[in-house]
Structure 1
Amino acid sequence: MTASFHDLAALEGEGRPFVVATVVRSQGSSPQKAGKKMAIRADGSIVGTIGGGRVEHEVIAAAREVLRKGAPRLVRYHLTRELAMCCGGEMEVFLEPVFPRSRLVIFGAGHVGRALAETAGRCGFAVTVVDDREEWLTAERFPTAEELRLEDPRDAIDRLPWSGEAFVVVATHEHRLDEEIVHLLLQRPLRFLGMIGSRRKVERFRQRLAARGLPEATLARLSSPVGLNIGAETPEEIAVSITAELIAVRNDHVRREKAKRWGTEGID
């Protein structure tokens, strides 16, 4: 069965990169005709099929290479000469990489949250903002956010669809709430988890979370104080420092622990 546009949209919603393989030319006896599609994730798992067998195996291998290089590619297969398939014929398959916008969930609709939503959104993140304060979480304050969730952040954690590609920044108006959110999120599969705070606040948090049974390896996943050290002071500057770290992690430019340089250490 060919991958449908609904299938491709669902894959994009996962937030993970994949390749769309489309048969663009088919001559003679071949497994699929022009127009048929399949999608290939980075791990080699697929949605849809272009006929199975040796040719599909070759397409999957080529698609994974396309993801690594980040550029589309047209591949041609002589189904008898090259692949020793009995059906004969030829196929051309266009491999197109798809890199969905990384999803950023911001807990906290305060001044920093507002500036971060704007800055990160302009840098290619699909932003969701969560807060239970109706007067703060408005479309007027967050015109570029894709989703606003007016609810208790702890309830939102249970309802949001998490994946290993999600980015999260915790910046609420209450320290105890920050701690509860971080405790819950450290038990979820995330690409990045950051929290605003001073070194003193972060150290207290780590001690309390350790006392609640979280191992050191789990606590090490928390990037806090979040942001690169650029001497940021205003909410807008802080948003730039945080977004810079998000971009570094998204692009695998530096390891997460090396990217962090205490950009929000002055915030308590």
Structure 2
Amino acid sequence: MGFDREALREAVKTHGKVVRVVIAGIKGSSPREVGASMLVWKDEQSGTIGGGTLEYQAAEAARRQSKPSRLSQHALGPDLGQCCGGAVSLLSEIYDSASLTHIEGTVVARPVTQECEKDDPLDTQVQPMAVKRVLARSRAQGVAPEPQLIEGWMIEPIHEPTRNIWIWGAGHVGRSLVDVLSPLPDLAITWVDTGPERFPSSIPSGVTAVPAAKPAELVRHAPPEAEHLVLTYSHNLDLELCNRLLLHDFRFAGLIGSATKWARFRSRLAALGHLPARIGRITCPIGDPDLGKHPQMIAVGVAAQLLRPARQNELKKDLSA
């Protein structure tokens, strides 16, 4: 997890004043990890710190909050009616368009004491030596620090998606896939179809919709580590996308369809000059056929295939190769 600057900017742009509530520390068990956060505004909220009474009370307190920064302690036992048995520290910070100007760089380190005033720029606060050591070690190693609270300062890396997902097709299954995958913080989704009318009127945050009369021409712009899901309305377009992907490069490519469709595609891709081993890099069918053919069920199966632990291990091996 990290500090999702873009989601916060979008929330502030849409709703004005927004309170970001983040788990700053944990003792014992907790429904979420340090760094888990939610955004709260007048009538709604997004994200989650674990649900239940803790989240409800934290959201209500955020809506009443007047101080720019507030650190609070919560025991997750009988008092809250939760069975985790641990305790959490919550940092609640008010953001608006002015305070967002201080959020820059790759790591956000700021004081969280009650006395921190809104008009006191973050860069005028004296960083404790322990904070400086964490930041220096992070820079030297090129590794983002873990979210943590140190001597009254909260340190969080700026969140950056770690996986590029390209979804080809905005039909029923494509829309269902975007609904399932778009809330996940580590995914940057590029969504391609033949025209703007193919997309819904509202595109989720973190999803880039790209209408293109000739979608296959965009394959060359995809990064080689991207993961592709091909599920357009046209078998001919699906075939051309597979052909272009094999000529390009990718970390994963999945094609929606039956075993019969894939047998035909393998034959046609071979006729286009692709070797069997290369063709075998495309996964077809995708998802879990046992779940059925309802678009949401297909989307759930495909998402599970992308996210299952074995798949994550494969990606880690690819990255270390």
Of the two structures, which has the highest relative contact order with CA contacts closer than 8 Å and spacing of 6 or more? Answer: 1
Pair 1:228-2:285 in alignment: no
Distance 1:174 1:118, change over 3 A: same
1:126-141 correspondence runs (5 A): 126-140=188-202
Could you tell me how far apart the structure 2 residues matched to 1:34 and 1:145 are?
Answer: 29
> Which position in structure 1 is the counterpart of 2:297?
237
SS in 1 for 2:197: coil
Aligned sequence identity (%)? 29
Q: How does 1:101-116 map to 2 (within 5 A)?
A: 101-116=162-177
Aligned partner letter, 2:295: P
AA in 2 matched with 1:243: A
Q: Is the 8 A contact 2:173 2:231 kept in 1?
A: yes
Q: Distance in 2 between matches of 1:198 and 1:117?
A: 22
Give the TM-score normalised by structure 1: 0.58
Residues 71 and 109 of structure 1: is their aligned pair in 2 closer, same or farther, counting only changes over 3 Å?
Answer: same
1:120 counterpart = 2:184: no
Report matched runs for 1:33-112 at 5 Å.
Answer: 36=136, 50=140, 59=141, 100-112=161-173
Gaps of 5+ in 2: 1-102, 108-127, 149-154, 317-321
Cα RMSD after superposing both structures? 3.8
Q: TM-score, normalised by structure 2?
A: 0.49
Contact 2:146 2:157 in 1 (8 A): yes
Whole-angstrom CA distance in 2 between matches of 1:153 and 1:6 = 35
Take 2:199 and 2:271, find their aligned partners in 1: how far apart are those partners? 33
Q: Does structure 1 residue 179 correspond to structure 2 residue 231?
A: no
Is contact 1:162-1:188 (8 Å) kept? no
- Partner of 1:186: helix, strand, or coil? helix
Structure 1 residues 22-56: Cα deviation after superposition (integer angstroms, max 9, x where no partner): xx859xxxxx99855766xxxxxxxxxx4xxxxxx
Q: Is the 8 A contact 1:71 1:97 kept in 2?
A: no
Tell me the equivalent position of 1:219.
Answer: 279
1:110–1:136 contact (8 Å) kept in structure 2: yes
Residue identity matched to 2:167:
I
SS where residue 192 of structure 2 aligns? strand
The 8 Å contact of residues 105 and 167 in structure 1, kept in 2 or not, is answered as yes
Query: Given the alignment of the two structures, is residue 193 of structure 1 paired with residue 232 of structure 2, yes or no?
Result: no
CA distance in 2 between counterparts of 1:100 and 1:34 reads 22
Deviations 1:192-225 (A, max 9, x none): 1001011111100001101111111111110111
Assess if the C-alpha contact under 8 Å between 1:126 and 1:145 holds in 2.
yes
Distance in 2, matches of 1:221 and 1:200, equals: 17
CA distance in 1, matches of 2:303, 2:134: 42
Gaps spanning 5+ residues in structure 1: where? 10-23, 27-31, 40-49, 51-58, 74-93, 256-268
What is the identity, as a one-letter code, of the residue corresponding to 1:146?
V
Paired residues of 1:118 and 1:144 also in contact (CA < 8 A): no
